[in-house]
Amino acid sequence: MSRKFFGTDGVRGKVGAEPMTVEFALRLASAAARVLAPNGGSVLIGKDTRVSGYMFEAALEAGFVAAGVNVYLSGPLPTPGVAFMTQRFGCDFGVVISASHNPFDDNGIKFFDRLGGKLSDALEAEIEKGLAEPPTTVESRRLGRAVRVDRSRTHYQEFCAATLPEGMRLDGLKLVIDCANGAAYKVAPRVLADLGAEIVPIGCSPNGRNINDGCGSMQPGLLQLTVPGVRADAGIALDGDGDRLVMVDHLGRLVDGDQLLYVIARGRHENGGFPGPVVGTVMSNLGLEHALAELGLPFRRAAVGDRYVLELLRETGGVLGGEASGHLLCLDKTTTGDGLVSALQVIAVMRQSGAKLAELASHMSRYPQVLLNVKVARRVDLATLPTVAAAVAAAEGRLKDTGRVVLRPSGTEPLIRVMVEGRDESVVRAEAEGLAAVVRAAAGG
């Protein structure tokens, strides 16, 4: 079944416009309850720091309780924390209210199953089918109950700390932590401080409207200035819901998701190995593939989206995967992308090797890669645009085996992403701009 509202990471949009309305959230809760907990049960609801989170939390709570589902309300908690606590509380499913790295006037709703994994496309399609029905209200004796479990975040903090090698502490390390004024603003600094690190927090003062605003993994400029400015060993930048990670070395240079995935993989390889291939996406830098090959580690590419990386990891028996954007998966540690857990894995490699992050990242050379976003009026099937297909074929012919071209629609925004990668940056940029112009002419808004 096709999905109208669910994208690559749940339902997302501008607050006040369908689907991000209170009325839709109420129907969505009712539909989800019928599919995921048809005989009653329980759900954990977490959220980031957006001001609109309060109203969506209330709407979802009402829909679940009316359908006979008990509700646990965690308050602000990173997306991976909700996944973990869903398992910890033995809930039938979990819900996160967040638009991740988007600005504050967007919001979204995404689901986890009872094991802390993302729902399959088929289950999301079943929930969408149920949106056509009015919200369910069971008889009074079967109504669910709601309870706040805000203090439960300490369980998640303990879990994160436990993903470090046994006995490892962070004493003597100075770290800058940027939480994007988002969901991790309490738990991330506390985990690092409890492990003994000296921390300098930025982006840890949310006001409901400053999430991802000039800070976090999408805008790490302040972090890049702060790390060398305070002579820190490294900087950690999460996004608004805490599932993305980028880092900054002691010189203030950005270390992206591809490089971090390489650092973790190399560290695991040198300390006994790990099962399965490393999994990236069609957007992963060619330099990552080549650097892993030098270590004798196989590499596979999935479709863009951490859910598809996860699916390929499960299919191949792998445990490490991720995206350049910073969605990293360490399935031997947790069930979903977790920015804080991933940062701890990188720091563990730093401690075990005695090397700085700059040195660890230098073993992977990044090919020049240009990514341009082309706004479109509506979602469009690129295969139906012959001028675009011809332009892609021509660009690939010119690049031959020295580069790659990837065009894909965004799963969360009305954009076509045009990516060109190759050895010569000037050639790559020219090809990307040319392709973007063709896409804009054929499908631009």
Q: Which of 100, 152, 325, 342 is catalytic?
A: 100
Query: What pLDDT is stored for residue 412 in this prediction?
Result: 67
**Residue 57 CB partners (closer than 8 Å, separation 6+):** 45, 47, 73, 97
Exposure letters 82-119 (e unless 16+ CB within 10 A, then b):
bbbbbbbbebbbbbbbbbbbbebebbbbbbbbbebbbb
**Residue 37 CB partners (closer than 8 Å, separation 6+):** 43, 67, 68, 69, 92, 93
User: Given the DSSP bridges, would you call strands 415-422 and 403-409 parallel, antiparallel or unpaired?
Assistant: antiparallel
C-beta atoms surrounding 33 within 10 Å:
29
CA distance 13 to 21: 9
3-class secondary-structure state, position 228: helix
User: Given the DSSP bridges, would you call strands 320-322 and 328-330 parallel, antiparallel or unpaired?
Assistant: antiparallel
Q: pLDDT of the chain along its 445 residues, tens only? A: 467 899 878 999 999 999 999 999 999 999 999 999 999 999 999 999 999 999 999 999 999 999 999 999 999 999 999 999 999 999 999 999 999 999 999 999 999 999 998 898 899 999 999 999 999 999 999 999 999 999 989 999 999 999 999 999 999 999 999 999 999 999 999 999 999 999 999 999 999 999 999 999 999 999 999 999 999 999 999 999 999 999 999 999 999 999 999 999 999 999 988 998 999 999 899 899 989 999 999 999 999 888 899 999 999 999 999 999 999 999 999 999 999 999 999 999 999 999 999 999 999 999 999 999 999 877 777 878 899 999 999 999 998 877 889 998 876 678 899 999 998 899 999 999 999 999 999 887 5
Helix axes 257-270, 286-294, angle to 10 degrees: 10
> What tokens does 386 get?
């012959």
Instruction: Residue 288: name the closest of 274, 275, 277, 299 by CA.
Output: 299
Query: What pLDDT is stored for residue 121 in this prediction?
Result: 87
Instruction: Residue 260: name the closest of 372, 191, 339 by CA.
Output: 339
Q: Could you write out the DSSP letters of every residue in 384-404? A: G-HHHHHHHHHHHHHHGGGEE
CA distance 120 to 126: 10
Strands of 29-186 (E only): list them: 41-47, 69-76, 93-97, 106-113, 146-148, 174-178
Cis amide prior to 38 (ω within 30 degrees): no
Count of residues for the chain? 445
- The question of whether 100 is a catalytic residue gets the answer yes
Helix axes 425-443, 386-399, angle to 10 degrees: 170
**Residue 210 CB partners (closer than 8 Å, separation 6+):** 104, 181
> What tokens does 99 get?
């638009």
CA distance 217 to 220: 6
CA distance 409 to 379: 7
Edge-to-edge strand order for the sheet containing 6-7? 6-7, 10-14, 106-113, 93-97, 41-47, 69-76, 146-148
DSSP 202: E
**Residue 299 CB partners (closer than 8 Å, separation 6+):** 277, 278, 279, 280, 288, 289, 292, 293
What domains lie within the chain, and their CATH numbers? Answer: 6-150 (3.40.120.10), 162-361 (3.40.120.10), 369-443 (3.30.310.50)
**Tokens 């009872």, residue?**
114
